[in-house]
Amino acid sequence: MTTALIADDEPLLRAQLIARLAEAWAELKVVGLARDGGEALELAARYEPDIAFLDLRMPVKSGLDVARALGGRCHVVFVTTCDEHAVAAFAEAAVDYLVKPAAPERIATLVARLKSRLPAPPGDLEALIARLAGGGGTPLRWIRASTGTSMRLIAVDDVLYFQADDKHTRIVAADGEALVRKPIRELCEELDPQAFRQVHRGTIVNLRAIRRVDRDGRGEPVIVLAGRDEKLAVSRTFAHRFKAM
């Protein structure tokens, strides 16, 4: 049975979506109803739904924040009012979305598409999330970091990977290492999603630095960097991004 989570802070519209989904997809089981983004993440962790319907604008955390935190663990449908910028971005990226109030014919079309997509892994939403969250701004190109008592300016393209290190983030480049007081979460929002990918809760890797992707004894992907001895573990949350590699 396919399961779903619905997150929307407007009770009437949430109830309407539940009712129309029941009409169009009787086999779908709604396992969680969230009133804000924080509650959505708690319910997603508890029930591990196949699909998450996320209101784009919610208290605590937005639909984009929730989708980013879910990291591809389920299929996502963004629910929004008539936000032309967001709708255009969804359409261009071929991402599933609903405009409130959801019309029955749109629900029927969406259900058919979701049924066809469910056998495949969820799509990668990083580029879309970065575009909407950042308003299409320019990705981070330079980063100021510390090496001992000195400061240096590092070109982001020269970074091999970023790794969380206590209250800092460690920057590993071909010519050395440095520290920056910026969490991984913020870096994910600022880096070019076409060049950098998060592979673990505390690790972001430069795709150009990857030599190959191996498998460990448990069959989990492990990143081998070009010209480096260390290997980067890929957590289960992000493993689907490397299945084809």
Give me the domain span that covers residue 189.
142-242
Domain count, the chain: 2
Asked if residue 31 has pLDDT above 60, the reply is yes
51 with 125, same domain: the answer is yes
148 with 89, same domain: the answer is no
Overall pTM surpassing 0.85 (yes/no): no
Which of 134, 155, 172 is the C-terminal boundary of a domain? 134
* pLDDT mean over 238-242: 70
11 with 84, same domain: the answer is yes
Which of 115, 134, 153 is the C-terminal boundary of a domain? 134
124 with 150, same domain: the answer is no
The confidence score (pLDDT) of residue 243 equals: 57
Distance CA(24)–CA(18), nearest Å, equals: 10
77 with 168, same domain: the answer is no
Which of 100, 134, 168 is the C-terminal boundary of a domain? 134
CB atoms within 10 A of CB 137: 11
91 with 203, same domain: the answer is no
Chain segment 163-222, per-residue pLDDT in tens: 998 788 999 998 899 999 888 877 877 788 778 988 888 999 999 999 999 988 887 889
